[in-house]
Structure 1
Amino acid sequence: MRLVFCGTPQFAVPTLKALLRAGHDIRLVVTQPDRPSGRGMQLVAPPVKHAALAAGIPIAQPEKIKNNQDFRAQLEMIQPEAIIVVAYGRIIPKWMLDLPHFGNLNLHASLLPKYRGAAPIQWAVANGEPVTGATTMRIDEGLDTGDMLMQRELPIAPDHTAEDIFPLLAEMGAPLMVETLERLTAGTINPRKQDDSQATLAPILKREDGQVDFTRSAMEIYNRWRGFQPWPGAYTQFRGKKLAFHHMMPMELRGEQSVPGEVGVEHGQLFVDCGANSRLEIFGVQAEGKKRMSAADFLRGHQLTTGDRLG
């Protein structure tokens, strides 16, 4: 099939490579512009650009696409049979939706209609879901509301973080998109409308999402920490400065009453009381302006005692 591929981060690379291995004719790769990054603020190309360069595919990096006449003319000249969109990071305008015969096909990292939006993997893990998955869908003018084509499930282990799930879903979703194209060509897919009443949202993450609310249960806080890796993580305030948590484990309290935010110190171990009569053991922390360290090293340097408070 004659295709245009739109994608930006590493998550999109396996699908691009799988489409090439399957023999599709990718005439153009569209990705976001190079962005300044790191301490030197040098321009860094997106992972999809590197993959396209390695495969010798022409690349377009428009800053905007909605009213970009040059870009529109470029796509109209190609006349793609389908446009594949995987984590591109731009809203697809109507003229682009209407261009290909098979439409604009998206690989979305959730089991739609659950977790529509920019951060489906993070919110699925943060909400303690036992399973997630990938959905191929035909994009419409809504937010991840288009007709579903195929789905595949992926279990989430209790200790998986969002960082663990990203590459697993990327590798699982790549052959799913290839199979979707095969079945569209063969006419063996029946697109399914989404049940909007079952929809949940997965909005883009904000820094404040990582602020720990100790009135939540320890399991809720632990799940949010897993989901918000690598950013915004989980953090609180200690003696007026930020304290980030780098590893933790929830536990229940028996015969005791928790006081949310209260610290417990025992044999070099650090505990924090949470809501619902639960407690977190904290294994790794990073104080503001300091390097990451074990909880034991942190306790040796800061003289915490049982009854101190975080938050």
Structure 2
Amino acid sequence: MGSPDFSVPALRALHAAGHDIAAVYCQPPRPAGRGQKETPCPVHRAALDLGLEVRTPTRLKRDTAQHKAFAALDLDVAVVAAYGLILPKAMLDAPRRGCINIHASLLPRWRGAAPIHAAILAGDTESGVTIMRMEEGLDTGPMLLTEATPIGSDTTVQALHDALSEIGARLVLRALAEDPPAIPQPEEGVTYAAKLTKEDGRLDWMLDAAALERRVRALNPWPGTYFTQAGEQIRLLAARVEAGTGAPGTLLDDAALVACGIGALRLLRLQRPGRAAMEAEAFLRGFALPAGTVLG
């Protein structure tokens, strides 16, 4: 049970290991692209490539027909990875070994919807994957296995996403083979990673430069980090912390060094609406940002 790219390696690993996959559940096809054509999610496409049955219910919570259809699969276990729908108790209890989740954090840190982004935003030095047995609470179930991976000063959300996706695929195979004992999560150190919105990408120059640089690494490609200038919303795709002082949001030179609440941020890669992304030197030839300009 999964939907985005993150879940695909786990599906492929389960299939390659010879597990009998009774069905694949994922989000329904949705309009995408300029033509708004109905497009299946990555897990849906992978499942079709593997010749597996795909189910795409739009809701589960009160749909007793879906509960019965799930129970009729007579499962040993359900593997869940970023599915996108909350499983009701009737479905959580149906498989003999329950439902296990591939969660992209070292629980109990970063329960919730966006744990990969949250780890980079917070300046964590490591992240990881927890295989947990699911219960009705939000990522509160007991842990079966964990594996950590470092977060470097230049780690992007895409790089961390890909690393955790591969760890999750490997770790869930171990969990199924070894059936390790479930260990309750610690009561201390619980944090939550809220669902991201477009507004989270707006750059607040009052923040310190290090926090803004982490935001750039954490929120691209989605929801994207941006500022406004000359009536345009400019995306910032890469940046570097440098020394500098001045009124927050003010350009300190002609090469896109912006004063922040603490320190300064060198803008390295930018993109105008409807245009290709460019390195700062090329961008500034077509969109001047002279020293003294105040960015929105």
TM superposition score category, shorter chain reference: over 0.9
Does 1:124 find its partner at 2:112? no
Is there any run of 5+ residues in structure 1 with no aligned partner, and where? Answer: 1-5
2:83 corresponding residue in structure 1: 88
C-alpha distance in 2, partners of 1:91/1:138? 14
Report if the CA contact (8 A) 1:127-1:224 is conserved: no
Q: Per-residue displacement from partner, 1:120-167 (whole Å, max 9, x unpaired)?
A: 101111222111000000111111111111000011121111111111
Of 231, 256, 262, 1:270 maps to 256
C-alpha distance in 1, partners of 2:149/2:225? 25
Counterpart residue type for residue 102 of structure 1? R
2:189 corresponding residue in structure 1: 198
TM-score (norm 2): 0.95
Give me the identity figure in percent: 38
C-alpha distance in 2, partners of 1:118/1:238? 31
| 3-state SS of 1:227 partner | helix
RMSD: 1.5
2:243 corresponding residue in structure 1: 252
Of 10, 19, 22, 1:15 maps to 10
Deviation at 1:289, TM superposition (A): 4.6
Alignment of 1:1-311 (within 5 A): 6-184=1-179, 189-253=180-244, 257-266=245-254, 269-276=255-262, 278-311=263-296
Q: Extract structure 1 runs of 4+ deviating beyond 4 A.
A: none
Is there any run of 5+ residues in structure 2 with no aligned partner, and where? Answer: none
Q: Per-residue displacement from partner, 1:167-203 (whole Å, max 9, x unpaired)?
A: 111111111001011121xxxx221111233111111
Report if the CA contact (8 A) 1:97-1:139 is conserved: yes
Q: Per-residue displacement from partner, 1:190-242 (whole Å, max 9, x unpaired)?
A: 21111233111111111111111111111110001101011122111213331
TM-score (norm 1): 0.91
Q: Per-residue displacement from partner, 1:1-21 (whole Å, max 9, x unpaired)?
A: xxxxx1111111111111122
| 3-state SS of 2:21 partner | strand
C-alpha distance in 2, partners of 1:74/1:304? 60
Higher strand share: 1
Counterpart residue type for residue 256 of structure 2? L
Counterpart residue type for residue 107 of structure 2? L
CA gap 1:215/1:183 in 2 versus in 1, 3 angstroms? same
CA gap 1:307/1:82 in 2 versus in 1, 3 angstroms? same
